[in-house]
Chain A
């Protein structure tokens, strides 16, 4: 497919996100002036900001040198050319389960008692450590 088509496609992505951000920003302004209510206005403004963050990220990607492949966002700039063949897609891993067990023990330990929370946090840290080192080794 042609490069111009790919560029057009990239533009669609950030325009969609920024469109949502602008729309919610308008809602926030209208809402403030019809209600003068703080909670909702704050939440709408934050929602708009969140959407603008994604849109802004994709906008910067779009306007960056298209040949650049360094940095953690390399995969994103390759989107229209097909998937990056070097993208690491593991088939198995124990670490998600370990993190899940650590997380549930840690959170429920807050309710039950600290003897659950402490080992839970330890398992969680162990799991995150394993997850990260797994990525480093294989990527």
Chain B
């Protein structure tokens, strides 16, 4: 750390004075401010989506006695899925990318700062548009986050909430495409001297690949949304069987977006834990080249598996989709061994980010294995559209993405705020999340296998169903409450947290070579020389820098 602090300052920034307060929030194009805005907004939507989830679990507390009406329930689970997938997990990853990709490649900002600000506004306004459906007299969209045709036709769901949902998809989709362009341009043209492609940190690599996936898949969603809107309001018949349309086309279009989307919201978080395991094991990433290759393999394969969501339609070639889906298990398995190999022979410290990363590893493992199960078409036909699928996708998206998201939050919070988060509260948060999560979702595998369909507003009293649903609900309430120690921790740290210093974790990558928080143009000091993917480590431990790749 001192090695860097002692270096003479290269130049001082004495441009126009920076605006403060509300003005700064509204007009800033600094990638760090925009990144924080993304993360704070996404976290707000996470709390909204979590609140909706608690209503779902409250509804299913007792068999045969709904708490809210079916109509309200359908809106609640539709918006829970839509908010979590479109407004929370993906945008939070983009927030992290906004903040840390330029820092990790040693750039002053993103390649297109104003475009960056614009895509944030599209995202925020899109999110407000989607939620404003609840304020309309007919309520929010209520056809599930997948919006299957012909349920979404104007005659079946005439409410304005559906139109608001469609417009939100257009806005959020546009925002995603613009951010992806920005990340790619930053990675290709803004890297510091010496930062070759194969010296980029894995988080940056994964954001690069994620951005490619966004560019391939988001336009399909926007096109599908436009077609749906045209069907509803301009007399088109794309999905209208009575006039020569095909409802099944919606599923092809939606899942051609939807499956890459799953990797769009998972790959960034794979990147996050791949930053954390080396730092807290004091080792380099094991098999760097293999990890990059595996990421590309996952991304490329993910474009070709969309119809494994459609096995039950009887309209797709099940063995093809089954085979390609199972292939994805191979690069994902490789990543698991890379992570374990990174820790092997390491000096592991169990900080909060490391705890969450290990929680990610264990939980995502179960989600990955159940994924192989349902890649087999006959098994999927048995459990499709049941709570088994609900359990699987939450093990992947919460157990995978959100655990890693929390890991990233604890890891990078000191850099963003300059303050450390409390370790004891972090440990408390971790165990509450882990216990709450497994209580909520593990029994759902059993419920689904026993025949409980998803998206039902109530269920009959069969076997142990009520008991298992109550276990799930108790877990969900614990999981909901687990957000409190986190919020308290953040609040407390911002007010009177321990100062973090530049490099509190003994980091390896460039973001730890600058102050916390970084100055407006990121690096006041000259960058450390970049000869590997761990420039800061090489600077601190020159004697231990050998053995890494070029």
Give the B-binding residues of A (Cβ under 8 A): 1, 5-6, 8-9, 12-13, 16-17, 19-20, 23-24, 27, 30-31, 34-35, 37, 39-40, 43-44, 47, 50-51, 54, 58, 75-76, 78-84, 87, 89-97, 99-101, 103-104, 107-108, 110-112, 131, 134
CB distance from A103 to the nearest CB of B (A): 6
B215→A31 contact, CB < 8 A:
no
Contact of A111 among B126, B167, B197, B324 (CB under 8 A): B167
**Chain B residues within 8 Å of A8, by CB:** 196
Q: Given the interface contacts A103-B171, A108-B129, does A91 sit within 8 Å of B15 by beta carbon?
A: yes
Q: Say whether B193 contacts A82, CB under 8 Å.
A: yes
Q: A104-B171, A108-B164 are in contact. Are A94 and B27 (CB under 8 A)?
A: yes
Q: Is B488 an interface residue (CB 8 A)?
A: no
B299 in contact (CB, < 8 A): yes
B316–A91 touching, CB < 8 Å:
no
Show 25 A/B contacts (Cβ-Cβ < 8 Å), sorted by A. Answer: A5-B196, A12-B198, A13-B197, A16-B197, A16-B296, A20-B296, A34-B319, A35-B317, A39-B252, A43-B220, A44-B303, A47-B217, A54-B212, A75-B190, A80-B191, A89-B108, A89-B521, A92-B29, A93-B27, A96-B114, A96-B121, A100-B121, A103-B125, A107-B129, A131-B118
CB neighbours of A34 from chain B (8 A): 317, 319-320
Chain B positions within 8 Å of A111 at CB level: 160, 163-164, 167
A37 lies within 8 A of B316 (CB): yes
| Candidates A27, A58, A92, A108; contact of B304 at CB < 8 Å | A27
Which residues of chain A have C-beta atoms less than 8 A from B424's C-beta? none
Which one of B26, B30, B216, B320 lies within 8 Å of A35 (CB-CB)? B320
Chain B minimum-CB-distance residue to A58: B188
5 closest cross-chain pairs (CB), A and B? A100-B121, A96-B117, A96-B118, A82-B193, A104-B125
- Are B164 and A20 closer than 8 Å at their CB atoms? no
Asked whether A110 and B233 contact (CB < 8 A) given A35-B320, A96-B117, A104-B125, the answer is yes
Smallest CB separation, B550 vs chain A (Å): 9
Q: Hey, which bits of chain B sit against chain A, CB under 8 A?
A: 15-16, 18-19, 24, 26-30, 107-109, 111, 113-118, 120-122, 124-126, 128-129, 160, 163-164, 167, 170-171, 174, 184-185, 188-194, 196-198, 212, 215-217, 220, 229, 233, 249, 252-253, 256, 296, 299-300, 303-304, 306-307, 316-317, 319-320, 324, 520-521
In contact, A82 and B233 (Cβ under 8 angstroms)? no
Q: Which chain B residues border A89 with CB–CB below 8 Å?
A: 29, 108-109, 113, 521
Contact of B117 among A24, A54, A97, A107 (CB under 8 A): A97
Known contacts A76-B188, A79-B188; A12 and B197 CB within 8 A of each other: yes
What residues on A are CB-neighbors of B126 within 8 Å? 104
Of all chain A residues, the one with the shortest Cβ separation from B234 is A110
**CB-CB < 8 A to B109: which residues of A?**
89
Give the residue name and chain of the A residue nearest to B110 (CB): A89
Give A5 to B531 CA distance when docked, in angstroms: 12
A91 CB to closest chain B CB (Å) equals 6
| Distance in angstroms between the alpha carbons of A93 and B307 in the assembled complex | 44
- Alpha-carbon gap, A88 to B21, bound state (A): 24
Minimum CB distance partner of B27 in chain A: A92
Residues of A within 8 A of B167 (CB): 107-108, 110-111
Find chain B residues with CB under 8 A from A83 CB. 107-108, 189-192
Complex alpha-carbon distance, A24 and B116, angstroms: 29
Cα-based distance from A39 to B239 in the complex (angstroms): 13
Are B170 and A24 in contact (CB-based, < 8 A)? no
Tell me how far the C-beta of A37 lies from the nearest C-beta in chain B, rounded to whole angstroms.
Answer: 7
> If the complex has contacts A44-B303, A104-B125, are A51 and B191 also in contact, measured as CB distance less than 8 A?
no
Cβ–Cβ contact A9 & B171, under 8 A: no
**Separation in Å of the A138 CB from the closest CB of chain B?**
10
By beta carbon, the residue of chain B nearest A11 is B197
| Complex contacts, A51 vs chain B, CB 8 Å | 212, 216
Cα distance A17–B482 in the bound complex, in angstroms: 42
Q: Is the CB of B117 within 8 A of A47?
A: no
Nearest A residue to B190 by beta-carbon distance? A83
Q: Which of A24, A37, A111 has the most CB of B within 10 A?
A: A111
Q: Which residues of B contact A35 (CB under 8 A)?
A: 316-317, 320
